[in-house]
Amino acid sequence: MNFEEKLLSLPQARAPRRIAGSKISKDDTESPQGFDPSHHKIQPVIFYFSLGGSTQKVAQSFAEDLEEWGQSLESDDALKPLKPQVHDLSYIDYDDFFITPPKSDARIKHFYLVLLPTYNIDTVLDNFLEHLQETHHDFRIDTAPLSSLLGYSVFGFGDQEDWPTEEEGFCSQATEVDKWMARLTGRKRAFPVGMGDVKSDSMERLKEWRLGVQDAMKEILEGRGLGEGVPGSGDAVESDEGSADESDDGSDETNIPKMRRKRKQKPLVDDLEDLGRMARQSAANKKTPPESSVLAVDFTTHNKSRNAVAPSPKEMVPKTSPTYAALTKQGYTIVGSHSGVKICRWTKSALRGRGSCYKFSFYGIKSHLCMETTPSLSCSNKCVFCWRHGTNPVGTSWRWQVDPPDEIFRGVKEGHYKKIKMLKGVPGVRAERFAEAMRIRHCALSLVGEPIFYPHINEFVSMLHNEHISSFLVCNAQHPDQLAALKHVTQLYVSIDASNKDSLRKIDRPLHRDFWERFTRCLDILRDRRFMQRTVFRLTLVKGFNIDDEVKGYADLVERGLPCFVEIKGVTYCGTSTSSAAGLTMQNVPFYHEVCDFVTALEAELQARNLGYGIAAEHAHSCCILIASDRFKIDGKWHTLIGYEKFFECLESGKEFGPEDYIGEPTPEWALWGNGGFDPRDERVDRKGRKKEAVQNAQIAA
């Protein structure tokens, strides 16, 4: 059953306004391994990573010992493990092994063993960990895509002289891999993670670990699976990997400065709504001691001294905070105290010749030349579909210390280039595109948080423009004063997530009480700006929230703001516990044909009002479609692309200019509505890196 059929098989509510999902558990009677000793064979697969070659020698020797043990078993040859395969993590495509196990022969069941040294420098291991993490969070992939493995186990080499304990970094990368593999395999840990000190007992510990792994494999060969109740068996009672993958208290401290990780106490929560909830829960708990059930808030000093010195502003994201740990765990580089930068998955895709995002089809932005960043990690909304997992700070006003814009600009560029350089060893990266990526040409100010919230946003944007880096700024329509004070950007976005006040409250969950008034003021500001710069409404469609019977409402908003463009995109489900808690499940993700139906209905409504809009382009791969104003239709052809050099010429001239002054080349034929929007110069591949055409032809032949 394919992915779409699985979705269709789920029970559908009639005309839902809000869809609540629940986790579908596996049938307890089903064998967790699916291993029949009379029919299947075990294929051990050993993965290793080595900079100096020492781990490679250990892995090869380990494979020989494992093979020798397998051949020595007193059983029929058909029941003995196959010869172990050995792979260097530096030279394999992770998609071939760590999204689904290899499927060359249905009778062969794989057993993964991973040998990893520990480094305090950036290596391919960081890419490997990031791949495991992104696979876990990818909504298109099953929660446990490696569950068909018979089992797995990890062994780490470390240096206790420099990092004495696990908390301080001993074998930290091995424990991280063990954690993510537990989630991806559905808790198939065959034996606990092993650890050895390279300066003392590593070989002795490795032998003990190998014997334990061999016992686990022997039990599988005898039809007993991974065993029950044994430490490390992967049993839910024994495993530390719960169903809630995201730790809200920040105890999962991946990517805190390497080798110096220390456990931290949970700080007070900054969110006032959460404080109120905590107070109510504490008061209701009869077993809690009275002194701990009351929030320590002192109201006695209020207005006592008018000459009291105000406390100095604190950092938005201190390096010791759970927020810092959570964001860095998700792949962000935190710059200063309140800014961040992250590599988009489309950047990786473009570097490998597998296509750019919809911005390339619509506006001519090559994804590998684009930096995604924000000068403010804080936001005033808590959107149900936010794929940042609700880990960023929230607030209605700026109450933190302010970093200088030049320091932020320098820091985000360094962070971006550093992450690009780490991709040079990824299989499939094209040399010419990697060279191009070392010069940033575009900046998407649309990461986590609200970039327009930063007090010096104009100075930061000017620094981008001084280096001829285009600016695409996205705001959530909750800060009209900052929006009114914003100077020229290449393209200005406003997120339009609902067509009415009630839906906006449910979807964006804004913190401002006057959120609707702020929202409409921002639309009026965009209407006034439409002849000074390119303006865009970004509509995110959430099935069951803002699609049903809301076309006319959206048309009202377009008529009020008259943007240059309207982007309509299906929601991307991040697949985390925070999303499900907000009422969002995979059933809320619209199919592309549903997005198309909505767009055609919206176009018809806009044309009925004689507003002068039409469907210009699409990027089906992103489930995204562009409606454009007729101002960008010249001689019967759409011109949605941007003339970037024209923009900088206009900007540097000091004269007034508008969107028509930096219109680019005509929209390419392949990007127009009805043609899919995928650049024919790139190659479409499936999740395993195979060409789409080749896979489809093979399926037809079968």
CA 177/CA 180 separation, integer angstroms:
5
CATH of residue 393's domain is: 3.20.20.70
Q: 370 φ, ψ to 5°? A: -110, 135
Tokens matching residue 131: 């791949």
Domain for residue 558, yes or no?
Answer: yes
Residue 266 lies in a domain: no
CA-to-CA dists, residue 456 to 375, 453, 486, 496, angstroms = 9, 9, 10, 25
DSSP letters, 160-227, are TTTS-STTTTTTHHHHHHHHHHHHHHTS-B-SPPEEEETTTTHHHHHHHHHHHHHHHHHHHHTT-TT-
The answer to whether residues 363 and 484 belong to one domain is yes
In a domain, 502, yes or no: yes
Mean pLDDT, contiguous 10-residue spans, the chain (702 residues): 57 49 40 65 91 85 92 77 90 84 84 89 77 85 86 90 78 90 90 87 89 87 65 35 36 39 40 44 45 36 46 81 80 90 88 89 93 88 66 76 94 92 79 88 87 92 96 91 93 88 82 87 92 91 74 92 93 55 68 91 94 94 92 94 95 93 94 90 68 46 41
CATH code of the domain covering residue 110: 3.40.50.360
Please spell the DSSP secondary structure of 236-281, one letter per residue: TTT-S--S--S-TTS---TTSSTT-----PPPPP--HHHHHHHHHH
Helix intervals (H) in 634-690: 644-653
pLDDT of res. 441 = 94
Q: Which of 221, 241, 258 is the last residue of a domain?
A: 221
Query: What's the domain range around 209?
Result: 34-221
Q: How far apart are CA 637 and CA 667, in angstroms?
A: 8
| Cα dist from 671 to 360, 628, 678, whole Å | 9, 13, 7
Does residue 573 lie in a domain region?
yes
- DSSP strand E in 381-446: where? 442-445
The residue from 194, 221, 248 where one domain ends is 221
C-alpha to C-alpha distance for 507 and 435, rounded to whole angstroms: 41
Same domain, 489 and 612: yes
Contact 464, 410 (CB under 8 A): no
Q: Among 221, 239, 263, where does a domain finish?
A: 221
* pLDDT score, position 410: 95
DSSP-derived secondary structure letter, 114: E
> Does the residue 213 lie in any domain?
yes
Q: Compute the distance between CA of residue 154 and CA of residue 148 in angstroms, rounded to an integer.
A: 18
Domain shared by 203 and 337, yes or no: no
Quick check: is 177 in a domain? yes
Distance CA 186, CA 203 (A): 30
Domain identity same for 205 and 336? no
Q: Alpha-carbon Rg of the chain, whole angstroms?
A: 27
Query: Is 298 part of a structural domain of the chain?
Result: no
Q: What pLDDT does residue 368 have?
A: 92
> Residue 250 falls within a domain, yes or no?
no
Question: Count of domains in the chain?
Answer: 2
